[in-house]
Structure formats: structure tokens, C-alpha cells
Chain A
């Protein structure tokens, strides 16, 4: 079966596009799927660092597009997951080095050999974003429960629909359940009601994301992390599994929940 091309985008920077791309791709690969991720953020390469593959880069996306290497030569195999590959962004060039039709051609070449192709979109609504969504079969919009991120997500959803690449699915990242409970943070329901697209996943705020990113290991491979579990749930839903949105339930505030977390931290 030819690969499904999935683009992860957000409009606003810093909401978790790269983290989500790395983790959903890793979660699918850990389930045995053949996955390749493309870092489309040319000039601001980062997906390699999050995946812990920064030392293995020889060729990049622009080298492939400009014919300096074959596609296979730019594909870096993951250290832990033999079915996961990365095509890194160029660090020294700008977005104009790649066109939307280059991306379509590249993905068409990858489709027969993979089950999933993930594209990490750059922030913004210009050329880099258009490159990233051009080959997409599915687009995922990721946002945080704050006003500026939600506003930009709405704008991006409009642009995706205008390009006839919609409807996108929504991931809400960095939910702080304690703040939601106090009425100091937009809830997942609030964000869903405002943006009015289908939900794909809810990721709680979790320090483990920073810790695992420091180590260059996707948090989805950490069986104990709450964010990791949320990313694995998203991977399952993409495979067509019916996984309920249990992340909405909060065990963080209860005594038992706090004790569990304390014990986990001590043991982990």
C-alpha cells in the first residue's frame, strides 16, 4: 500500500510541531510501520536534534532537490527504530531553494517504499508552509490552549481549506489540567468549539518532553510519560484504532495520582 503523506503545521512557532512529528513518527515506527519524516523547515533544521540524529547528516533535502545526491543517500536511519528514517532540512539555505512541486515529486518517489511520510512544516504562512502542505494526503494542525496559538491555528485551517487540503485534524498540546480546572486556561472543549475541526489528540504538559528531548530520544518511546502515551494514542488513531480521549480525565490532582507520579519519578 502506498504511503500516506501527513503534514504537521501550526502557523505559530514553538507550539510543538517538531516534537509532535518526531513522536508520532517514532510511535508508528515502534509498532512496526515503515516511516520517513521530512524536515521542511529549511534554514532552521531541528527535527534531527529532537530525534537524536544530528551527527549522522551528510546530505539534506536541498541536496536531493538540486540533484547533488540520490534520495536514498539523504535518508538517515534511526538509531533505535530500523523502520524510521529522516530527511533533514538544509541549514545554510532558505525556503526558496525548494518549491511545492519539488515536494510533490519527492513524496511520490517515497510513497511506494513507506507506509507513512511525515512532513514537519515551518512556522508561518509563506513558501515553507506551502511546500509542506503541497504533497499532503492529511494535514494536522497543532496548537496550544492560548489565544495567540488558537488564532494562528484558525488562520492556518482557513488556508489549508482554501488549498483544498482539508479538513485538517487537531492536536492540542501542552494542556495544563490544573490551570484548566481553575478556569485559567482554555479547555480542550473550548479550543475545539472555537476551531470547529475534528480532534486527533490531546497532549498534557509534561516535563518528560524536555528531558527526553535533551537526550535525543522521542518521549513516545518512554512507556511511563503521560505525553508519550498521548503521542502513542495519536499514532493508534492514525492507524484507524478507536482510542477514546482519556487524556481529558485528570488524575493529577488526586492524592493517589500525586503518589503515583512521585513513585514513578523515583523509580524512573
Chain B
């Protein structure tokens, strides 16, 4: 009980929670061999390729690996600049 109160006062997450969050990130990296640097590079290159054909909102681009069971999926969310704004700008 004392520990629970301590935790509430310190607002420190439990060590098991920390372990789980750390493991989540480690396992994504282990399974895919993708570091955050590579992911960042991939994002820049994707923006480059897509921008050749259509204008994208670079700040809004999100690239992440989603997990379903033991399957990994690369999810890219790339917002486009609205055509009207393009004409005005």
C-alpha cells in the first residue's frame, strides 16, 4: 500500500510498465532491423519521391511500424496540400 501511495505521489510509472514500453520499442527494432535514423531517412526520401508528382504537407508526414500479432506493417500517413491553397499560394 505504501508503495502505491509513493507511486501516486511521485507519479513514477511502475517498473513493469517501463519494462513493457521499453520491450515494445526494442522488439520492433529487433524484428525489422529498422533504427529510428533509417526510418527518418526513409521518411525524407518518400517525401522527395511523392513531391515530384504531388505537393505534400511535409510537417504532417508520419511514418511508423504498426504491429499485429507478430506481423509488422509500415504505415505512412502523408497529408496532401489542398489544390486550392496551391493555386492561391
Contacts and interface: CB of A to CB of B under 8 A. Distances in A.
Interface string A178-198: 001011111100100110110
Interface in B34-89: 67, 69-70
Contact of A185 (B16, B30, B31): B16
Given A158-B31, A161-B70, A182-B3, A151 B20 contact: no
B23 A150 contact: yes
Given A154-B30, A194-B23, A184 B70 contact: no
Contacts of B67: 196
Nearest to A167: B70
Contact of A183 (B16, B24, B30, B70): B16
A185 B15 CA distance: 7
Given A161-B70, A186-B20, A194 B3 contact: no
Interface residues of B, number: 18
A184 B23 contact: no
Interface residue range, chain A: 20 to 34
B27 A151 contact: yes
B27 A184 contact: no
A147 interface: yes
A184 B17 CA distance: 8
Contacts of A187: 16
Q: What is the interface of chain B mostly: helix, strand, loop, or mixed?
A: helix
From B15, B19, B69, name the one whose CB has the most chain A CB atoms within 10 angstroms: B19
A109 B24 CA distance: 43
B15 A196 contact: no
A194 B17 CA distance: 12
Contacts of B70: 157, 161, 196-197
Nearest to B17: A183
Contacts of A182: 3, 14
A71 to B, nearest CB: 37
Q: What is the interface of chain A mostly: helix, strand, loop, or mixed?
A: helix
B69 A147 contact: no
A196 B69 contact: yes
A186 B19 contact: yes
Nearest to A150: B23
Contacts of A155: 30
Contacts of A196: 67, 69-70
A184 B14 contact: yes
A184 B20 contact: no
A180 B19 CA distance: 12
A136 B26 CA distance: 29
Nearest to A155: B30
B11 interface: no
Contact of B26 (A151, A157, A190): A151
A196 B20 CA distance: 13
B50 to A, nearest CB: 32
A154 B15 contact: no
Nearest to B27: A154
B11 to A, nearest CB: 13
A157 B27 CA distance: 12
Interface of A: 146-147, 150-151, 154-155, 157-158, 161, 180, 182-187, 190, 193-194, 196-197
Given A180-B16, A182-B3, A182-B14, 18 more contacts: A146-B19, A147-B19, A147-B22, A150-B23, A154-B27, A154-B31, A155-B30, A161-B70, A183-B14, A183-B16, A183-B17, A184-B14, A184-B16, A193-B20, A194-B20, A194-B24, A194-B27, A196-B67
